[in-house]
Structure 1
Amino acid sequence: MLAIRDRQDAAAFAALFDHFAPRVKGFLIRSGSDAALAEDCAQDVMATVWNKARLYDPARASVATWVFTIARNKRIDVIRRSRRPEPEDLPWGPEPEVEPDEQLAVSQDSARLREAVKALPKKQRDIVEKAYFGDLTHSEIAEVTGLPMGTIKSRLRLAMDRLRHAMGRDDE
């Protein structure tokens, strides 16, 4: 390593590469990377070893510790990049104006839906409110109400049928 650090000795690097590259790849595979990713990452690690050899200090770490620390950091970088969400296609400029007739239709539909929910039998309305306005799962509703899961599902299905009918969407 000192020959690489002090003289950029290519032969010394080849020997170091032959020794550490397969071990780094194995370390990455054991850490959960697939073989192709581990191979790419191992190549990056060894390139970093070559490019940053001037930073190696034998008083601070052994060669193996230094190389495997670089490998660990590269693995963390890969994991972070893979978990980072892709930027969304954000529209530029203001949102398009909603046409007045569309706005009126949505408003009327909302009013009809509110009335349709109010018209449901209380037992069905309670389940619909918990499921759709309270964001509870069927299991959570069963836990809160003490009702069997089948009863919850039946009431919800019946309520949704009534709401579809009230909204004039019987074909859905």
Structure 2
Amino acid sequence: MSDDRRTKRTRAGGETGLALMQHEAPDFGRWIEAVALNRDREAFARLFDHFAPRLKAYLLRAGATPGAAEDFAQEAMLIVWRKASLFDARRAGASTWIFTIARNLRIDAIRREKLAQREPDPSEMPDDPLRPDQIYGERADGDRIRSALGNLSPEQFRIVELSYFHDKPHSEIARELGVPLGTVKSRLRLALIRLRGLLSDTP
């Protein structure tokens, strides 16, 4: 079939998907719509290939470390995949929407880091504060915890182990594993989100 016939057929509604996109300038909004409606992996791959390196470069210019910029960019694209249905082209362009997701991820991380660094008031601390592993222990038995931990990636599990079970600070973990501090924090954050979901889903 010639290009002219293919184009006419697509415009007439007889052909769907990404065929026409190969002959036109990128239409990011249509790609996001394809992900939202059909979980279109080809459309998402095109979005990822285009935006992931640009998000990383943007985050590096904003002051993120290389490791953190990489993690934020990948996390932003995962949000695009999961929440593509929330995109509204009437409110913002596709690029603006995606870059805002990445920007908000970094802002949230900075806020959490500042809160974590704030010196606690001893008078506000309980006499015997619970460790994170003890908190999980009250919510689930040992088998559930071990099962949830087993679903983490080896990198995430190692950071959880060093942070919560060996009480090592993030900076020491970064030196021991030879990764940027931002990578330690982002991997730990993703691991805890994963654990929270696994434990809450387990009866």
Normalised by the length of structure 2, the TM-score is 0.43
Give the structure 1 partner of residue 77 of structure 2.
46
Structure 1 position 85, deviation (Å): 2.5
Structure 1 position 91, deviation (Å): 4.9
Letter paired with 2:93: S
Distance 1:19 1:71 in 2: 14
Matched, 1:3 2:38: no
The 5 Å alignment of 1:100-139 reads none
Matched, 1:15 2:50: no
Letter paired with 2:34: A
- The SS at the match of 1:59 is coil
Distance 1:37 1:3 in 2: 29
Normalised by the length of structure 1, the TM-score is 0.50
Structure 1 position 82, deviation (Å): 1.2
Match of 1:92 among 127, 151, 155: 127
Distance 2:37 2:116 in 1: 41
- The SS at the match of 1:57 is coil
Which protein shows a greater Rg?
A: 1
RMSD of the TM alignment (CA)?
Answer: 1.8
Distance 2:73 2:93 in 1: 18
Letter paired with 1:18: D
Match of 1:59 among 90, 94, 101: 90
Distance 1:31 1:42 in 2: 13
Give the structure 2 partner of residue 79 of structure 1.
110
- The SS at the match of 1:38 is helix
Larger relative contact order, structure 1 or 2 (CA cutoff 8 Å, min sep 6): 2
Distance 1:85 1:37 in 2: 17
Letter paired with 1:29: L
* Aligned length, in residue pairs: 93
Matched, 1:29 2:64: no
Distance 2:126 2:101 in 1: 40
Distance 1:5 1:65 in 2: 17
What does the per-residue CA deviation read over 1:29-55, in whole Å, with 9 as the maximum and x for residues that have no partner?
000001000001111101111111010
Structure 1 position 92, deviation (Å): 1.7
Runs of 4+ in structure 1 off by over 2 angstroms are 85-91
- The SS at the match of 1:61 is coil
Give the structure 2 partner of residue 69 of structure 1.
100
Q: Structure 2 stretches of 5 or more lacking a match? A: 1-31, 129-203
Distance 2:89 2:78 in 1: 19
